[in-house]
Structure 1
Amino acid sequence: MYLKSLFPDIPPLQDVNVHNVFFNRPDQSQWPEVNIHIDIETDRKRTFKELKERVNDAYTAFSSALKDGGMDFGSEGTEEMVGIMSENSSDYMVLIHALMANTTPFALISSYSTRFELLHAFRLSKITRLFVQPKYLSHAISVAREVGLSLTNIYIIGGHVKGHQSLSGMIERARSVPRVPAKPAKQSTLAYLVFSSGTSGLPKAVMITHGNILFSIHQSIVAGQAVAEVVPPSEEIPVSLAFLPLHHSYGLHAYCFRSLLSPHSYVIMPKWNINAALKAIPKYRISNLALIPSVFHQLVNHPQISSVDLSSVKHVGSGAAYLPQQLVAKMKTFTPKDSTITEGYGMSECTIAALTQVLDGMLGGRGKLLPGSTGVLLPGMEARIVRDDGSEANFNEVGELWLRSPNVSPGYWNNEKANKETFVDGWLRTGDKFSVNEEGYFFFADRAKDTLKVSGSQVSPLEIEEVLLAHPEKLITDVTVAGVSGGRTSDEKVPRAWIVLSAAGKKKGAAAVIKKLDEWQKENLSKYKWTRGGIEVVKEIPKSPTGKTLRRVLVDKYERKFKKSQSKL
């Protein structure tokens, strides 16, 4: 069926460089003087005005001619793609905004990349320049040589290294150069490339335009106005813990873009560290936590969580991957009674988000916070639920979610094959399976690509995972299920589970836990859904920095062992 957002429509948008939306709005002159950035390691602080000045200085450096001491990024006749490879920092955000002001596209590259992953990212994005944190410089240089990136075009962010220009040095030189306004941009102007998670196959580079960002920001504004109708605005300035990686859409938009819509403070962590986070929450009186499911897991199972003062937390949000309701329930036991926990659904291909949970009373009284639901369509979104045969699914029937909206990416960078498979007649095929009820509330079912076919029947790994997690003795804290070789035919895959033992599970021992879970699943699942591929205890489930389970890592390891065993027969 076809569905349209329940929110009010977003008015037509004009061509504009999003820099002006982020930094040159009239309302910002009335903001109180608060520290928008606080560095958790150095305690260095920056106000909004200081941040704006530094962005303008950096943009001046990038746009000025070489003869004037500038960098002349994107001079006429040249095509630029600037790579950024760093952990989170205030200057990372400065760099992003300065490049957008200059309409110089950039590629967000994970600093945690292996050599193979980095080589793929450099080659695919075809970077012409690179900003890199000193600790990752040697790693970057070794790959840069292989792809032909000149060492003179490798710059330093977050420090100084002899022989390389630094962002700080560029900014210092630019302070004597006359300022110029941000360059004009159209809605189709490319802003940046963000890499897909690569949970299956090599990551793809998603193109995001100025128009995509602009529409996404207006979605957030319209949704925020709807929330304000039922939740009185607080006089306190919200404080968020900024640990999600800025090279991913979730962290990028939460800390770099939406942070500029209203006064807000962000305590910046270079990367996730649970012990540092548990100290920071009471120290800085963190009120907002944007989490991912893997961090939910870590927090609620941390041995000291019950002794940490979480009384300042007013809202906890989740994104990037499916959030089991067991984690929501457990988190609520540690946060204040009047705090809210919500989740949404999105993907880089739709800039940031597509679905959001709503609070009771929103949308003219139609809204309700429905446990288990991923929410409703964001403003301006259209959706279809499509069966495997391409026909339209009915209400409450599972099918693939297709999306259409101005915040949907124009496609993948240099990947026509993937574009033809994913972007069909103006619709984005998400690869995720959902059902939707008559009121327009969506319910996540599974990743379409992860769904198995066993003996001709569809098997959802998510369903098996939830059954195993629901064992009454709480024997495990994490689990993932994927298809592996061992079926009745060479191409049939059977379910296999990888589990992480809880404290109770460790007391019983691995063998006893596997036996109990095997008995439990046979009581609660149809026979064709049983884990015929076995159950394996692991120390941890591999996940991307954004919390998406990397099933392929476990599957590949299993398949190598399976092939060896078969060759010996």
Structure 2
Amino acid sequence: MSTYNAVTWLLDRNVDEGRGAKLAFTDTVSELTYGELQRQSRRAANLLRRLGVRREERVAMIMLDTVDFPIVFLGAIRAGVVPVPLNTLLTADQYAYVLSDSRARVLFVSEALYPVVKDVVGHLPDLECVVVAGKNAFGHKLLAEELAKESDSFATVETHAEEPAFWLYSSGSTGMPKGVRHVHSNLQATADTYAKQVLGIKENDVCLSAAKLFFAYGLGNALTFPMSVGATTVLNSERPTPALMFALLSKYNPTIFYGAPTLFAAMLNDEASKNERAGTRLRICTSAGEALPESVGLAWKARFGVDILDGIGSTELLHIFLSNSPSDIKYGTSGRPVPGYKVRLVSDDGADVPDGEIGELLVEAPSAGEGYWNQRAKSRHTFQGHWTRTGDKYVRDADGRYTFCGRADDMFKVSGIWVSPFEVESALITHPAVLEAAVVPEADPEGLLKPKAYVVLRAGSQTDNLYEALKEHVKQKIGPWKYPRWIDVVDSLPKTATGKIQRYKLREGEAKH
């Protein structure tokens, strides 16, 4: 069997092809060229060897988006060790679960995030060492000091294309996260398909991603895709507020901006940023996490003159597999299958459904994970031979475009007809008073399900006769049976760290009034 290590293709190839002095990453404080990243990743590999971490063992990463992240992530893969980047917004209990579940031998943690896990790390039998990225080691090891002790010479471990390279934990919106195991070849698979054939990414691109590196979406945006062509990435360690993103767009003038529907809407509606621009070189934006409402895409294009490519991806499939493309955009849809991916829509009994009918989306993907760690039943349900079940409900039109209808567990019927929460939400936010909306089923006095809406209003909006106005607005937009029978005005909607609305929490009454 021939050998293949993802770092050889992602990083070493760039140096071999003469891009050693090219800027790879900047985090507003530090910079890394491709040559420096190669040397530092070798030091990280030597550090892991000194700490006694063996091939295929796991190391956890609770790290902000700084230049330290690619050093550790790529250094581990170079050593044949499996890095496990973790969501930086989890609670101590969630970290305790994931660190125990992954049996991580070493934890790399950013200084600012250490306080969350300080009471956890001493109670995990498999965790032998903590390495802190920053200036305060909290009694542990400092990453910069440890790297400085190591040689920048390291013989990259001869791994195989189908060998586990890294894990990503799913967002866990309805329970504890699940560890998705990805192999070495999966990174290149996403670059050869979406990045190359949809984005058309080039060496002179400068990338800015609001989604963080620990997300599958952010990892592709800010690491895999730019490194696949020797481009440059701007990393942001802070929360992506409208003001901050506009500041970064102005300062670094990127060519590609990767966002999410919630952020695009917030940037469009932020009063303090109403005169901000998106830079002079921006050529394309992308959106994932949830479907992009048509009104948001059109408003963004009208204001900034740049299209947003809406698509859908997942942790299980590593990046976007269904997307609009620069030459083929229809706002309100997720577009068509990314070249290299095949999709099917199936009914509850597994039969393919015709155009115009709602079905669950199944994907045949070159980047599919090989399963969940320690979750055999869930692995069998999700990863079914060549096909991966997404849990997303879609409808395909006669032109072959796919439109999102909702998660399988969010859909419900009204008068015997399927209602998509997303469709009702998209109609609601086209009303000038509504900033955000979420729709869930609620039983009426007869026990029949009807739509109930939770809305976040724009600043200064009037609430007089709001219910009647929104009801009629939805009726006119999408049909008389889909309007919300109840509307609650709330301060915010519960969301995952990826920006997905947690409708199950609304069904359980967890809304902020």
> Aligned with 1:142: secondary structure?
coil
> Aligned with 1:30: secondary structure?
coil
Cα distance in 2, alignment partners of residues 525 and 32 from structure 1: 55
Q: Point out the more displaced range, 434-443 or 382-391.
A: 434-443
Contact 1:190 1:208 survives alignment (8 Å): yes
> Aligned with 2:149: secondary structure?
helix
**2:54 matched residue in structure 1:** 74
Aligned amino acid, residue 110 of structure 1: N
Contact 1:62 1:72 survives alignment (8 Å): yes
Q: Is residue 8 of structure 2 the alignment partner of residue 20 of structure 1?
A: yes
Are the structure 2 counterparts of residues 380 and 27 from structure 1 closer, same or farther at C-alpha, using a change threshold of 3 Å? farther
**1:301-380 alignment to 2 at 5 Å?**
301-312=269-280, 313-336=282-305, 339-360=306-327, 368-380=328-340
Are the structure 2 counterparts of residues 523 and 277 from structure 1 closer, same or farther at C-alpha, using a change threshold of 3 Å? closer
Q: What's the CA shift string for 1:79-107, capped at 9, x where partnerless?
A: 62211112211111111000111121122
Contact 1:477 1:500 survives alignment (8 Å): yes
**1:123-522 alignment to 2 at 5 Å?**
123-150=100-127, 152-175=128-151, 179-220=153-194, 222-223=196-197, 227=200, 237-271=204-238, 272-312=240-280, 313-336=282-305, 339-360=306-327, 368-471=328-431, 474-484=432-442, 488-489=446-447, 493-503=449-459, 506-509=460-463, 512-522=465-475
Contact 2:422 2:439 survives alignment (8 Å): yes
Are the structure 2 counterparts of residues 22 and 125 from structure 1 closer, same or farther at C-alpha, using a change threshold of 3 Å? same
Shift of 1:57: 1.7
Cα distance in 2, alignment partners of residues 554 and 126 from structure 1: 34
Cα distance in 2, alignment partners of residues 458 and 370 from structure 1: 23
Shift of 1:156: 0.8
Cα distance in 2, alignment partners of residues 283 and 222 from structure 1: 26
> Aligned with 1:112: secondary structure?
coil
Q: Is residue 490 of structure 2 the alignment partner of residue 538 of structure 1?
A: yes
Aligned amino acid, residue 553 of structure 1: K
Q: CA RMSD in A?
A: 2.7
**2:74 matched residue in structure 1:** 97
Shift of 1:379: 2.8
Contact 2:313 2:320 survives alignment (8 Å): yes
Q: What's the CA shift string for 1:426-449, capped at 9, x where partnerless?
A: 311111122234554322222222
Identify unmatched segments of 5+ residues in structure 1.
1-12, 64-69, 361-367, 562-569
Aligned amino acid, residue 273 of structure 1: T
Aligned residue pair count: 511
Q: What's the CA shift string for 1:120-155, capped at 9, x where partnerless?
A: 3223323222111122223213223444354x5122
Q: What's the CA shift string for 1:207-254, capped at 9, x where partnerless?
A: 111122232232246516x948xxxx7xx9322224321111011111
> Aligned with 1:543: secondary structure?
coil
Shift of 1:486: 5.1
Aligned amino acid, residue 156 of structure 1: V
Cα distance in 2, alignment partners of residues 293 and 325 from structure 1: 10
Q: Is residue 11 of structure 2 the alignment partner of residue 55 of structure 1?
A: no
Cα distance in 1, alignment partners of residues 512 and 272 from structure 2: 39
TM-score between both structures, scaled by the size of structure 2: 0.91
Cα distance in 1, alignment partners of residues 383 and 435 from structure 2: 37
Corresponding residue to 2:60 among 83, 86, 97? 83
> Aligned with 1:399: secondary structure?
strand
Identify unmatched segments of 5+ residues in structure 2.
none
Cα distance in 2, alignment partners of residues 32 and 155 from structure 1: 28
TM-score between both structures, scaled by the size of structure 1: 0.83
Cα distance in 2, alignment partners of residues 120 and 219 from structure 1: 34
Are the structure 2 counterparts of residues 160 and 310 from structure 1 closer, same or farther at C-alpha, using a change threshold of 3 Å? same
Aligned amino acid, residue 359 of structure 1: P
**2:505 matched residue in structure 1:** 553
Are the structure 2 counterparts of residues 127 and 450 from structure 1 closer, same or farther at C-alpha, using a change threshold of 3 Å? same
Cα distance in 1, alignment partners of residues 27 and 512 from structure 2: 44
Cα distance in 2, alignment partners of residues 123 and 488 from structure 1: 47
Are the structure 2 counterparts of residues 493 and 189 from structure 1 closer, same or farther at C-alpha, using a change threshold of 3 Å? farther
Q: Point out the more displaced range, 84-93 or 301-310.
A: 301-310
Shift of 1:523: 5.2
Aligned amino acid, residue 295 of structure 2: Q
Cα distance in 1, alignment partners of residues 511 and 457 from structure 2: 23
Q: What's the CA shift string for 1:25-84, capped at 9, x where partnerless?
A: 2685333844222222x3x22222222221122122223xxxxxx223216xxx622111
Contact 1:222 1:379 survives alignment (8 Å): no
Shift of 1:14: 5.8
Are the structure 2 counterparts of residues 58 and 481 from structure 1 closer, same or farther at C-alpha, using a change threshold of 3 Å? same
Which has the greater radius of gyration?
A: 1
Contact 1:310 1:334 survives alignment (8 Å): no
**2:482 matched residue in structure 1:** 529
Cα distance in 2, alignment partners of residues 221 and 530 from structure 1: 39
Shift of 1:15: 4.2
> Aligned with 2:165: secondary structure?
strand
Shift of 1:560: 13
Contact 1:446 1:460 survives alignment (8 Å): yes
Cα distance in 2, alignment partners of residues 35 and 387 from structure 1: 49
Aligned amino acid, residue 125 of structure 2: G
Shift of 1:276: 2.2
Q: Is residue 87 of structure 2 the alignment partner of residue 110 of structure 1?
A: yes
Cα distance in 2, alignment partners of residues 559 and 136 from structure 1: 27
Cα distance in 1, alignment partners of residues 80 and 86 from structure 2: 19
Contact 1:91 1:158 survives alignment (8 Å): no
Cα distance in 1, alignment partners of residues 276 and 512 from structure 2: 43
Give the number of the structure with larger relative contact order, counting CA–CA contacts within 8 Å between residues 6 or more apart. 1
Aligned amino acid, residue 452 of structure 2: R
Are the structure 2 counterparts of residues 303 and 27 from structure 1 closer, same or farther at C-alpha, using a change threshold of 3 Å? same
Cα distance in 2, alignment partners of residues 543 and 129 from structure 1: 30
Aligned amino acid, residue 163 of structure 1: G
Shift of 1:311: 4.0
Aligned amino acid, residue 545 of structure 1: A
> Aligned with 1:321: secondary structure?
coil
Q: What's the CA shift string for 1:327-385, capped at 9, x where partnerless?
A: 0111112213xx3321222111112121232233xxxxxxx333333222223212211
Contact 2:25 2:233 survives alignment (8 Å): yes
Aligned amino acid, residue 18 of structure 1: A
